[in-house]
Amino acid sequence: MHAQLHSCLLVKFVYEPPYASAACRARKRHWQFAKPAKDAPWSAPFPARFSRNALFSRDSVSTLRFGLRRYERQRAYVAGIAHYHELMASVLDISVQHHPANRSGRDFVVGDLHGCVDALRYLLRLVSFDPACDRLFSVGDLVDRGEHSEQALALLDRPWFFAVLGNHEDALCAVADGRLRRQWWYGIGGAWAANLPDESLRRYAERLRTLPLARVVGSGPERFNVLHAEFFGTDAELDAGNFSAETRQQLLWGRELAMGNGDPQRQRGLSLTYCGHTPMRDIKQIGSQVFIDTGAFGPGGRLTLVEPRALRRWSISVEEARAEGAAALALP
């Protein structure tokens, strides 16, 4: 069973794109897997075989772009507003949270969870996660689509778990505030909350509003960032956290970089940044961002866990995890 987990050690530096930040070049985090997948490797320069890596459909990228633009217009129409980001930009207590480097344990980053807690249980057991000294960072989207959204939200109370806000959490907050119709949220996976009392939803929203839009871990060459969708700017601009409404919308919903519309040159000076939001068939680096959402909630999808310092990653599907008895495993 372990052979099916696609766990591998990243061993060879293969590509140094001209737009890589100085921090990225110093760390040489452009990798090739010891057991590369059939698709383009994580380190392959965009747009190398992008259409084969996206999970949305087998249509052309241009068709996909059109569909996403139409989807964005529909979101604004359903909400009854002219500017979608004005609705969805939640009032957060903090925009960026900084964490010192972990000198006593290991740091991991997990892709979009979407309620797939059983897969997470298995992966944490596989890596022998130690809650006393290890930390788990999340790129957001804990809820919707999968089976255990409330269990995923309960992770926020674990002292070793550090998430950023995802667009699905932002949608939950908008529904709790009455800024978004429940029916629209149900359409993107929020149906798990159909029988959830308004008071419970408001309590979840209060907790989620304490999540930052980005987390910064460590400093210097060892630094890495965690956010949900995408960010164009430098480390200094990210650290400042003075985000406009447009930048907040991009941090939560942006797909320009993943769809080939964003210029990686705009990420000069940005440390390696882990993100999710856009499902990929495999981990993929574009510019300074590493996309680790591998579609855990969908058919053929997997939940991916990475360890930045050791350059390792693991992934497993919910079905495989359950076949190994993950549902009976306790979280750390």
Q: Which token pair is 194?
A: 């159909």
Sheet holding 96-99, edge to edge: 96-99, 214-217, 224-227, 273-275, 289-291, 284-286
- CA–CA gap between residue 39 and residue 52 (Å, rounded): 7
Q: Which token pair is 234?
A: 């430098």
Residue 248: helix, strand or coil by DSSP?
Answer: helix
Determine whether 114 is an active site residue. Answer: no
Query: Among 30, 114, 148, 168, which one carries the catalytic annotation?
Result: 168
- CA–CA gap between residue 196 and residue 58 (Å, rounded): 36
- CA–CA gap between residue 224 and residue 222 (Å, rounded): 7
Asked if the bond preceding 47 is cis, omega within 30° of 0, the reply is yes
* Sequential DSSP letters for 180-234: S-HHHHHHTTGGGGTT--HHHHHHHHHHHTTS-SEEEES-GGG-EEEESS---S-
Active site amino acids? 168
